[in-house]
């Protein structure tokens, strides 16, 4: 069953296609063949701008975790390997201090529907029985519906440097974000000696880089969205950490 044929999903896809088409037409006189890709960038910036209030909550949540770090460390020492009691104690602490452990995830969760929409728009040949003209758009000769892996296995492989560059920018943005987070909240990781601390630290270090693998297998349009969002988040977080009280 093609979910795009469902009334609600189909309406959302058509609205998204109309928006990107309008942006592309508006940008085309200035940016030429790159207009559709830049339309995705404009869409991403618009979404991230609308989500700034959630980003503020995210930074405040970081500050709260840093403030509570000594108490969290004390709880880890107290309960040791008793995971259940430790989790209950941490939850009581968060509740008493009115801190939401999920606040840091809000921008990512809020973007998921938009990213899913972009992905769907560039993976359907037709929308509600109408040819999807967005698939005709290219960026440096690569159709926006092609993924990095698809490009490597096609005659377009000589253009793969474009996607390699985007993936490299994404990896750098993630790495810089992690370094900034470590400086901002050095007590955020489990204390050495805590059961599972090594595994948790390794996962925390490498899990964000799964985004690079994701960006390599989705359509180029979705890759542009992910990279733009990551670069925006890096600059946004640096600014908000200075101005949010």
The pTM of the full predicted model, rounded to 2 decimals, is 0.84
**Domain assignments of the chain as residue spans, ordered by start:** 3-243
pLDDT at residue 132, rounded to an integer: 85
Could you list the pLDDT tens digit for every one of the 245 residues in the chain? 455 566 677 788 888 999 999 999 999 999 998 999 999 999 999 999 999 999 998 888 888 888 888 888 888 888 877 788 888 888 888 888 887 777 777 788 888 889 999 999 998 888 767 788 888 899 999 999 999 999 999 999 999 999 999 999 999 999 999 898 888 775 555 544 454 555 666 777 788 889 999 999 999 999 999 999 999 999 999 999 999 87
pLDDT at residue 233, rounded to an integer: 94
pLDDT at residue 147, rounded to an integer: 94
Q: What is the pLDDT of residues 82-133, one digit of tens each?
A: 788 888 888 888 888 887 777 777 788 888 889 999 999 998 888 767 788 8
d(CA 61, CA 69): 12
pLDDT at residue 200, rounded to an integer: 60
pLDDT at residue 186, rounded to an integer: 59
pLDDT at residue 66, rounded to an integer: 83
pLDDT at residue 176, rounded to an integer: 95
């Amino acid at each position: 069953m093609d979910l795009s044929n469902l009334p609600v999903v189909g309406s959302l896809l058509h609205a998204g296609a109309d928006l990107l088409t309008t942006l592309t037409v508006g940008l085309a006189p200035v940016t030429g063949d790159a207009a559709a890709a830049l339309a995705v960038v404009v869409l991403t910036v618009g979404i991230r701008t609308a989500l700034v209030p959630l980003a503020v909550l995210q930074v405040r949540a970081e500050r709260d975790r840093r403030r509570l770090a000594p108490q969290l460390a004390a709880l880890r020492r107290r309960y040791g390997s008793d995971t259940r009691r430790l989790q209950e104690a941490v939850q009581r602490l968060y509740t008493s201090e009115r801190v939401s452990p999920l606040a840091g995830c809000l921008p990512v969760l809020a973007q998921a529907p938009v990213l899913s929409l972009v992905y769907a728009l560039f993976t359907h040949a037709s929308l509600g029985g109408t040819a999807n003209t967005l698939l005709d758009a290219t960026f440096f000769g690569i159709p926006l519906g092609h993924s990095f892996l698809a490009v490597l296995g096609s005659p377009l492989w000589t253009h793969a440097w474009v996607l390699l560059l985007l993936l490299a920018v994404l990896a750098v943005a993630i790495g810089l974000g992690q370094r900034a987070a470590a400086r901002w909240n050095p007590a955020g990781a489990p204390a050495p000696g805590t059961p599972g601390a090594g595994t948790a630290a390794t996962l925390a270090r490498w899990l964000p880089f799964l985004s690079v693998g994701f960006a390599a297998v989705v359509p180029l349009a979705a890759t542009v969205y992910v990279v733009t969002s990551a670069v925006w988040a890096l600059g946004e977080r640096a600014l908000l950490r200075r101005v949010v009280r």
